[in-house]
Structure 1
Amino acid sequence: MHFQSVTFDLDGTLLDTIADLAEACRLMLDEVGAPQRTQAEVHSFVGKGMAVLVERCLTHDKAPTAEALHAAIESFKRHYTEVNGRFTQVYPGVIEGLQAWKAGGLKMGVVTNKPGMFTEALLERMGMADYFDVVVSGDTTAHKKPHPEPILHACRLFGVRPDRNLHIGDSENDIHAARAAGCPTYCVPYGYNEGKPVDSADCDALVSDLFAAHRQALTFKTS
């Protein structure tokens, strides 16, 4: 195989976490006295990290004040800590895919915009932590995806050149980050992508699930 390592996005790629996120948003909005959001709205708000999710929940005719946003973020942290993993579902093909990648001897990592205080706990609760050699969360580096630094940081920890790392995600954030890092990138069509369908023309392959991604990677050819 061309690849020596593979990095995965978390929310919308490995795990369907929307129900947890929506519940934490519901509790946060109730606590701060703001109008509620539907799960579909929360679905469209996910992608650029916790602070952006909370800000989008609060934004209606105008953006929240800095004080209101800070209070809401602290509220969200408390509530999400309690519900993190409670309603989360593993997407079909994920476990089979991770097992196939692991059996092939590749180094594996998670690169997510989710804060570290939630990432590690979620992987543990879902019984997935042992698959990964590296976890890069939204606060591990100075930048989040779509900046390339989180993926480059993972590659440095692997000791692998970026062009030998495959990044798999569900959004334009993943595509842009991987492209800027110099990594090939595959996308799954079932994730979040801030409410928009991912465009197959923007990635190296649009794959139905992670097991299909492994099969596709076996035939990857450099240009």
Structure 2
Amino acid sequence: MPLKNIRAVIVDLDGTMVDTLGDFEASLNHTLSDLDLPPVGRALLERTVGKGSEHLIRSVLAHQLGLPEVAGLSNVCSARTVDTLYTAAWERYQHHYQCINGQFSTVYPGVAEGLLALQSAGLRLACLTNKPLAFARRLLEIKSLHGYFGWVFGGDSFARKKPDPMPLLGTCFAMGVEPGQAVMLGDSLNDAHAARAAGCHVALVPYGYNHGQPISDAPHDLVLQGIDHLLPNLA
């Protein structure tokens, strides 16, 4: 059933508009090399991206050190071991990602066409990602997607990140719409839970990074094959 009275669309970035695993892989492996740690594989990245750079780096450090991943770091010694390396890892990761941003990533099919259709229909468009804002803005520019968005917010734009509803509520406020007038378009449980908690509608794409789980299991109003399928589902 089409979603009604939609005035705005909030779009996630990584895994929704752009496949950025290549950027993450290259940046993290340069970082790990600087720390004399072994390289990371894509399988780990697919289930750890999406919750912000801090979570990603801590998860990768824990995994490469043979420790429990961040979600299960209850052991004090394990946590301290990761903390010891985190500051250096964060600095090196920021350096490498800034240099690599956009080089090993690709825009998913139908993204530009879908955004143009939504923009032409008079909908307000915002990009909301857990990626740091400076990296997000630069990636949108490199991929020629920045012109579709009146607002761009990153993981450091609000006090909390998705799946907390705060970023969704802040984005709706900035756009001048009620949460019930907005649809969150994303690829993960983070997007779905944040939108539901904020009172926004939820549209999801199946090709992104959802921590190895089927996207259809996440709370949603729509599951779309691509961004270019959203406008026909809005009344």
Q: TM-score range by the shorter chain?
A: over 0.9
1:156 is displaced (CA, Å) by 0.6
Q: SS at the partner of 1:186? A: strand
Residues 196, 219 of structure 2: 8 Å contact kept:
no
In 2, the alpha carbon distance for the partners of 1:67 and 1:132 equals 39
Provide the C-alpha distance between the structure 2 equivalents of 1:53 and 1:160, rounded to a whole number of angstroms. Answer: 32
Question: CA 1:41 to 1:101, structure 2 compared with 1: closer, same or farther past 3 Å?
Answer: same
The sequence identity of aligned pairs, in percent, is: 39
Shift of 1:36: 1.5
TM-superposition CA deviations, 1:119-148 (whole Å, max 9, x none): 111111111111001111000000000001
* SS at structure 2 position matched to 1:110: strand
Task: Name the structure 2 match of 1:108.
Answer: 125
> What's the counterpart of residue 40 of structure 1?
43
1:120 equivalenced with 2:132 (yes/no): no
Superposed displacement of residue 195, structure 1: 2.4
Of residues 185, 188, 197, the one that matches 1:180 is 197
Moved over 3 A (4+): none
Q: Does 1:72 align with 2:75?
A: no
**Paired position in structure 1 for 2:24:** 21
8 Å contact from structure 1 (residues 24, 76) kept in 2:
yes
In the TM superposition, 1:1-223 aligns within 5 A as 2-60=5-63, 61-62=66-67, 63=78, 64-200=81-217, 202-218=219-235
- Which residue identity is paired with 1:123? L
- Output the CA distance in 1 between the equivalents of 2:157 and 2:100: 22
| TM-score normalised according to structure 1 size | 0.94
Q: CA RMSD in A?
A: 1.2
Q: How many residues align?
A: 218
Tell me, in whole angstroms, the C-alpha distance in 1 between the residues paired with 2:230 and 2:31: 37
Structure 1, unmatched stretches of 5+, are 219-223
Cα distance between partner residues in 2 of 1:162 and 1:17: 28
Contact 2:62–2:82 (Cα < 8 Å) also in 1: no
TM-score, length-scaled by structure 2: 0.90
Unaligned residue ranges in structure 2 (runs of 5+): 68-77
Contact residue 200 and residue 206 of structure 1 kept, 8 A: no
Shift of 1:200: 4.9
Say whether the 8 Å CA contact 2:130–2:161 is kept in structure 1: yes
**8 Å contact kept, 1:45–1:195:** no
CA distance in 1, matches of 2:160, 2:109: 30
Secondary structure at 1:122 match in 2: helix
3-state SS of the aligned residue for 2:203? strand
